[in-house]
Homo-oligomer: A and B are copies of this chain.
């Protein structure tokens, strides 16, 4: 015990946890002894006494096949960095299905291993979220609850990226460059995220050109996620001779597939924009919409722990207007959308000037 500074253990504890109650002179003396002896409180002892693990659990996805796998990765990185700033730690687990994941939640909570969880890859009527809410366990979902259900229930915290706004910005960027027949390559209707993104394109096209439903449908292509699917779909489209000026895509995988198809078909300047700003998009020069995962991660912790707090808030303590956060993403313009013969619109879009740096 570092009571070598001639004070009691409790005073040491106070210096570390509530410095303001300790007289400055004493505080300095203790601090000096701490530095000198290199004393660090024993984390487990503290956690035992305070009944707080200061740890947040998150499931590490089994690398979701596609190239967008790195989204979670980047989000996780930002989350860990911000958590560190709040003296929180992140612990990982893996699960094979939602039921398994719930079992992990229960196990980790019962063992006082975690104070709360971050839920990713949310689905319609997600059983995990229902369970967490029922058990009154603190959590934040990355992903809105799609569908009619309680998206504004203050007991179900969530953060999400405003895909609609992002795709709208991408579309308007192309419109601003003088293009008119801008297609949308998205997933089959029915996925919340996909429909949301498409709605951004739709809004931009309707606003700019007043298109009707049939015109919009004509400009829409569907492909399930994956580079080859997109490639095939776009090849087919090109073969059918549909006159398109550009493509906005629901993901970088779709964007990459589209780009490969149009380039091979001999259109080196045909503009394509993806979504997610994955490393691959950067690598191949594909314009894309960046989710600003750093901002999302910060918002996640703000919901879970309050704006400045250093501990996880109890379930159900959020104000109605502080229970959800929708982050506006940012368009990153690269070669794939400004190589073209069309004049540069000179807008205020972000440019990616680092395009070649820091490849490892």
Contact = CB atoms under 8 A, between A and B. Distances in A.
Interface of A: 38, 40-45, 47-48, 53, 55, 60-70, 72-74, 76-77, 80-81, 84, 89-94, 107, 110-113, 224-229, 253, 256, 260, 263-264, 279-280, 282-285, 356, 358-360
A111 B43 contact: yes
Nearest to A227: B283
Copies of this chain, complex-wide, total 2
Contact of A40 (B40, B89, B107, B358): B107
Contacts of A67: 67, 279-280, 283
Nearest to A57: B89
Given A48-B48, A64-B360, A359-B66, A94 B77 contact: yes
A279 B66 CA distance: 6
A65 B358 contact: yes
Nearest to A283: B227
Given A40-B110, A229-B356, A256-B283, 18 more contacts: A40-B107, A40-B111, A42-B112, A44-B112, A61-B77, A63-B73, A63-B74, A66-B283, A66-B359, A66-B360, A70-B70, A72-B73, A77-B94, A80-B94, A89-B91, A228-B356, A260-B260, A264-B264
18 contacts: A43-B53, A45-B48, A61-B77, A62-B77, A63-B70, A65-B358, A66-B360, A67-B279, A67-B283, A68-B360, A80-B93, A90-B91, A92-B92, A224-B359, A225-B359, A227-B284, A228-B285, A229-B359
